Each structure stands twice: as structure tokens, then as C-alpha cells.
Amino acid sequence: MGTSYILTGSYASEIEPGIKLWEFEKSTGELTELTSIGGIERPSFLAIHPNGTSFVATSEVGNGELVSYWIHPTTKKMMEINRQPSNGDHPAHVTIDETGNWLLSVTYSGATINVHPLLADGAIGELAFSTKHEGSGPNSDRQDAAHPHSIIQVPDRNLFLVSDLGTDTITTYKLNTADGKLTHQHTVQTEAGAGPRHLSFHPTRPFVYSVNELNSTLMVYKISRDGQLEFLQLVPLVPDSYEGENTSAEIAVSSDGKFVYASNRGHDSIASFAVQANGTLENLGLASSGGEGPRHFGLISGNDWLIVANENSHTLTALKMGRAGTPCTVENIIQTTAPVCVKVIK
């Protein structure tokens, strides 16, 4: 079956080992901690460089930071390279473009979208470009202002989609790879009060799957060559009979494009869907996340395992996938401080 390597981010304090590197054994579902590193407050979201040996973490605090690291390919030890200010409070998401030359980030409380160059040694350069979102939404508690929650590249294109939880919008930007400037292309409005958070792309077809945090729904879009989104479908992520609190968090498409998964915090479940020929989804049901508050998860290559970061129960869980493409058993549970991000290196 082989071995995979996984990085996890967390809401650990600066004095704790907040970023950890794990070895995952595919035959057994066993997770083994290899090394860790501290010195960063709430290293929540991680982005892996295309070279597979360096990455960037967000320090998700007020007046936060972006921090770059290097992983030794043999010893697996991690070393900090450098830091840059995040240009806004609470950097919530970061991505490295496919060339490995540009780092793009969003600040949830600062409402900024930022671009930094990545230098040859993996260091983060000084801010190259920034723009700011304005607006609000109908949910006065969560949508008092713009809150960009993620920035994700359209595969094989210099286009990036920003999901803004505060304004109920998904905006397409084009990256100038010469100077790092972003140019606005399109904006689509979601359902009022939906709170778009993260999204994921079909690997071979022009479909985008977006998870809405506030109303616990999933939206399906078709995407044009220039990044314009066309709405196709809206599906609920929790049963109508569920009366508790819930916020949906992460979404991912399997590498073969057959399935879509999304996480529910409160209901504490993973929702599974089968992708139809026209890109829309068929509901396959819900499975336990194996813990409380599944904020993020990662699919292991081969689509046989799903690793969930359950923030509130302080656990990583390895869910074995069944033949129908849905999580069916919790094979392993590991205690670790407030995990909130799972990134599979290989």
C-alpha cells in the first residue's frame, strides 16, 4: 500500500509544537509523528510548495504573520526560513501558485488579499500587491464586514477564486506572474447569509464545488475559461431533522473526480456525494468524523483514506473509505492539540 507524509497546522500556542509532520501507513491507517516545530502562534493554515520540501504557514492572530519553512528530505527535520507581516489581522488562508514563485493570502479580519514573491531559497519576499474587500451580509454576528476566507488557484491557469464569507461572494482574480498584481475578473453572489468558505475543483472537468459555512450548504458551479462561475446546484449538508448548531468547513473532490466530501462542525460528520455526468451531485449520506469540530481534512492519494482534523476534540482521525466511496470506519484516532489543517505532501 505504501506510505504518505502529512503536515498538520493547529491552534496551538507559540510555546507548543503547532506544526507537525506525520508518516501515514496506508495498509493499517497508522499515523506516526516524525517531527514538529513551535515558535509560531496559531499556525492554522499551510500551503505546500510544488517542490514538496518547503511550505508556508499562517499565524492566525491579530497583526498576523506568514512564515516559511524547509523540510530536510532525509531527516524530515523542519527549519524556519523567514517571516513577513500578513498585512491584515487573522490571515486565514494561504496558497502557493503552481510556478512556486508567488504566495497569495487572505486576512479574515483585515479583509485583504495579498501577494508576496517567493524567493529561490523558499523565503517570503516583501509585499508585492494588496487589495481589500468591502461590504457585509445579513448575518449580523458573522457578516458585519467583508471576511475573505480562502484564495485558491484554478488548475493550470493564472486565475484565483476568493471566497468571502462576509459578503456572500466568490471573486475571480487574474495574477500577473511578472509583478504579482491581481486584476478583478468576475464576482458571483451566493445565497444571502450562506457564508462561502472554501472550494475545490473537479480534476478534469470545468466544475467547482463550494462549501458555505453559515447555512451548511454546498454549491456547484460550472467555470468558464476566464474564470466566470455559472450556478448549477445547491445541496444541504445536514439533514432537515437536525436541530443543533452547525457550521460547514472543508470540501474536497477525490482525485478521480468521482466523489465530493464536505465536513460539518456541530453535526460532526463528513457528507459524501457522487459526481454525476453533468457535474451535479447525488447525496450518498453522512458518516461520523470520528471526533468533534472537523475543521479540515485531507484525502490520501488513492482515495482510500480521509484524515480529519477534529479541532474541538484535539484529534486526528483516519477514516477508511468504503467501496461506495464513502467513509465507513474510524480506523485510528491520534491526540494532538487543536488540529485545524491537514496537508498531504505525497
> Is residue 210 within 8 Å of residue 219, measured between CB atoms?
yes
Greater confidence, 1 or 138? 138
- Whole-angstrom distance, CA of residue 19 vs CA of residue 207: 32
- Whole-angstrom distance, CA of residue 191 vs CA of residue 142: 15
Given a cut of 90, whether residue 108 has pLDDT beyond it is: yes
pLDDT digits (tens, 9 = 90+) for 81-90: 999 999 999 9
Cell numbers at 285, concatenated: 449520506
DSSP string covering 280-326, please? -EEEEEEEE-SSS-EEEEEEPTTSSEEEEEETTTTEEEEEEE-TTSS
Strands (E), 145-245: 148-153, 159-164, 169-175, 182-189, 196-201, 207-212, 217-223, 229-236
- In the β-sheet with 294-299, what is the strand arrangement from edge to edge? 294-299, 305-310, 315-321, 327-335
**Domain assignment of residue 168, yes or no:** yes
DSSP string covering 225-256, please? TT--EEEEEEEESS-TT--S--EEEEEEE-TT
Question: Residue 2 — very low, low, confident or very high, per pLDDT cuts 50/70/90?
Answer: confident
Given a cut of 60, whether residue 99 has pLDDT beyond it is: yes
How many separate domains does the chain show? 1
Given a cut of 60, whether residue 1 has pLDDT beyond it is: no
User: What's residue 301's pLDDT?
Assistant: 82
User: What's residue 323's pLDDT?
Assistant: 82
> Is residue 254 within 8 Å of residue 303, measured between CB atoms?
yes
**Domain assignment of residue 69, yes or no:** no
**Domain assignment of residue 313, yes or no:** no
**Domain assignment of residue 221, yes or no:** yes
Q: Containing domain of residue 173, as a range?
A: 135-199+213-235
Contacts of 299 (CB under 8 A, 6+ apart): 252, 254, 255, 261, 305, 306, 344
Mean pLDDT score, 213-240: 98
- Whole-angstrom distance, CA of residue 26 vs CA of residue 20: 19
Mean pLDDT score, 53-70: 97
User: Beta 281-288 vs 269-275: how paired, if at all?
Assistant: antiparallel
Q: Can you tell me which residue has the cell 491581481?
A: 182
Which of 164-198 are b and which e, b meaning 16 or more Cβ less than 10 Å from the residue's Cβ? Answer: bbbbbbbbbbbbeeeebebeeebbbebeeebbbbb
- Percentage of the chain beyond pLDDT 90 is 94
**Domain assignment of residue 52, yes or no:** no
Handedness of CA 47, 310, 312, 273 (dihedral sign): positive
pTM for the predicted model, two decimal places = 0.97
Q: Indicate the Cα dihedral angle 306, 311, 313, 318, nearest 10°.
A: 10
Cell numbers at 294, concatenated: 472537523
**Domain assignment of residue 223, yes or no:** yes
Mean pLDDT score, 143-172: 98
**Domain assignment of residue 241, yes or no:** no
Given a cut of 80, whether residue 160 has pLDDT beyond it is: yes
Greater confidence, 3 or 42? 42
**Domain assignment of residue 335, yes or no:** no
> Is residue 41 within 8 Å of residue 59, measured between CB atoms?
yes
